[in-house]
Amino acid sequence: MNKLAEELNERLSGSIASDLLSEFGKRFFFPRGIAAQSAEATSTAKRYNATIGMAFEDGAPMMLPSLAAQFQSLTSREAVSYAPNGGDAELRARWSGQIRQKNPSLGDTPIGTPTVVAGLTNGLAQLADLFVETGDHVIIPNQFWGNYRLIFEERKLAEIRTFPFYTDVGTFDVAGFASALEVSRDRGKAIVILNFPNNPTGYSPSEDEATGIVEAIAAEAARGTKLLVVTDDAYFGLFYEPETHKQSLFAQLASIHPNVLAAKVDGPTKEDFVWGFRIGFVTFAGAAMTDDQLQALERKLLGAIRSSISNSSRPAQSLLLKTMAADQYESEKKRYFDVLSARYAIVREIVDGKPTDLLAPLPFNSGYFMSFRVVSNQAELLRTRLLTERHIGTIAIQDSYLRVAYSGIDDIDIRPLYDEVYSMAASL
């Protein structure tokens, strides 16, 4: 049991709550990870808050003007009625079309209808409920979003198996990934999570690396291992370098082998700059899945949704649907992409020109973040001193890494922010 859970159980000892807690309740805790550190930074990081995965401009969250214009236009049905359990039918159809538009290599490959869930986190949790048993292997790289532990290890008692994210030369470790798949071969089943652009590194694979990942999955499936491969596409589309693979791996996995079930978890959260809407989508595909079987699987998912959240936000779905239909929708998104791409370019220039004896940047090319390896292994001390002495919010990952969300920092403030980070690292 996690030490934080044990601490909470001790604090509850002797209470009626302690006597009534289920085994699940006894296992659970709130981690001292990104969410907790972001909350701490909210009150203290008065200068720069580079903690949370949001994009800001002039001190306020980015918001598409076409979205802002819709808030006064909702009818009562669009604003306050219950949404269907699986989401608004027109929105689901439009999102399905967007998946094909953004991933042209899908072609005419059959895929299920995207099902609306209460954010990407909820989508992952719904998949865990449907597919993950105690002791199952969940394969992810050693640089991963900490919430995976809560979802898969603590909720479902699965076993997370990691492999090195990077090779010695800073590319995605395809061979390490293939080796991790082999470890689960004796079980005959594995769950794989592919998160690109990656949180916390901000890295996406090149075309060759993406091909290697897909080929490793196909080879393992051909050996008889049954694989649920989840593409966590939370930051999809934010690719800044020409050599980066710019489609979801779901496109190739959708028809790769009969032993592979592909599940795409995505949504408007980052793609459409609507972090608080809390809606996402789950879409299934499989080489051997008939349309009837895909529909049956979606009914399973609907049952899981009905028994947990019932349905997702109606006004959020209505607003998103109206915004996606606006003539200026794509051009407004392109403007914000250009803003984030420019910030990436500034950060790239800064870190490429700095020595790496104290802070060694992990390779990054996409998304909202980049992370440093803190050579002294004092990342938490560095984070704490930046927060308390410089009023700057960052995220420490264990004691080895410091994540900086440059998405939330205006261009003019990026250099001063990084100057402070490097200066503080030198003072430790």
Strands 260-266 and 392-393, how do they pair? unpaired
Statement to judge: residues 252 and 292 lie in one domain: yes
- Domain final residue pick, 309, 324, 339: 324
User: Which residues lie across from 16 on neighbouring strands?
Assistant: none
Which among 260, 178, 272 has a CA at the least distance from the CA of 226? Answer: 260
* Cβ(2)–Cβ(27) below 8 Å: yes
Amino acid present at 361: P
pLDDT at 15: 77
pLDDT at 288: 85
- Domain final residue pick, 324, 340, 357: 324
pLDDT at 266: 98
- Domain final residue pick, 291, 324, 357: 324
Give the distance from CA 200 to its chain's centroid. 9
Q: Give dist(CA 358, CA 378) in Å, integer.
A: 10
Token duo for residue 14: 């002797």
Strands 260-266 and 280-286, how do they pair? antiparallel
* Cβ(83)–Cβ(313) below 8 Å: yes
pLDDT at 89: 95
Q: Give dist(CA 151, CA 136) in Å, integer.
A: 13
pLDDT in tens, 319-334: 999 999 999 999 999 9
- How many CB atoms sit inside 10 A of residue 335's CB? 13
Is 3 part of a structural domain of the chain? no
* Cβ(251)–Cβ(105) below 8 Å: yes
Statement to judge: residues 282 and 319 lie in one domain: yes
Q: What is the CATH number of the domain that holds 366?
A: 3.90.1150.10
pTM to 2 decimals?
0.92
List, in order, residues 6 or more apart from 383 with CB less than 8 Å away. 37, 394, 395, 396, 402
Amino acid present at 84: P
Q: Give dist(CA 182, CA 203) in Å, integer.
A: 24
Q: Give dist(CA 79, CA 317) in Å, integer.
A: 9
Q: Give dist(CA 271, CA 281) in Å, integer.
A: 12
Token duo for residue 332: 């407004």
Statement to judge: residues 37 and 117 lie in one domain: no
Statement to judge: residues 191 and 288 lie in one domain: yes
Using the structure block, give the residue that is written with the tokens 């050599």. 243
pLDDT at 37: 81
Which among 371, 379, 374, 377 has a CA at the least distance from the CA of 406? Answer: 371
> Which spans in 224-290 are helix H?
250-253, 268-271
Tally of domains in the chain: 2
pLDDT at 164: 97
Return phi, psi of residue 103, to 5°: -130, 70
Q: What is the CATH number of the domain that holds 187?
A: 3.40.640.10
Sheet holding 395-397, edge to edge: 359-361, 369-374, 401-405, 395-397
Distances from the Cα of 134 to the Cαs of 2, 34, 67, 129, in angstroms?
16, 26, 43, 11
Statement to judge: residues 344 and 315 lie in one domain: no
Is 125 part of a structural domain of the chain? yes
* Cβ(64)–Cβ(50) below 8 Å: no
Statement to judge: residues 232 and 249 lie in one domain: yes
Residues 192-202: b if buried by 16+ CB within 10 A, e if exposed:
bbbbbbbbbbb
Q: Give dist(CA 51, CA 38) in Å, integer.
A: 6
Q: For the chain, which residues score pLDDT lower than 70? A: 33
Report CA torsion sign: 208, 210, 212, 214. Answer: negative
Q: Give dist(CA 170, CA 168) in Å, integer.
A: 6
Give the distance from CA 299 to its chain's centroid. 25
pLDDT at 240: 98
Amino acid present at 167: T
Mean pLDDT of the chain: 94
pLDDT at 398: 84
pLDDT in tens, 254-271: 999 999 999 999 999 999
Give residue 180's domain range.
75-324
pLDDT at 25: 79
* Cβ(314)–Cβ(78) below 8 Å: yes
Statement to judge: residues 181 and 294 lie in one domain: yes
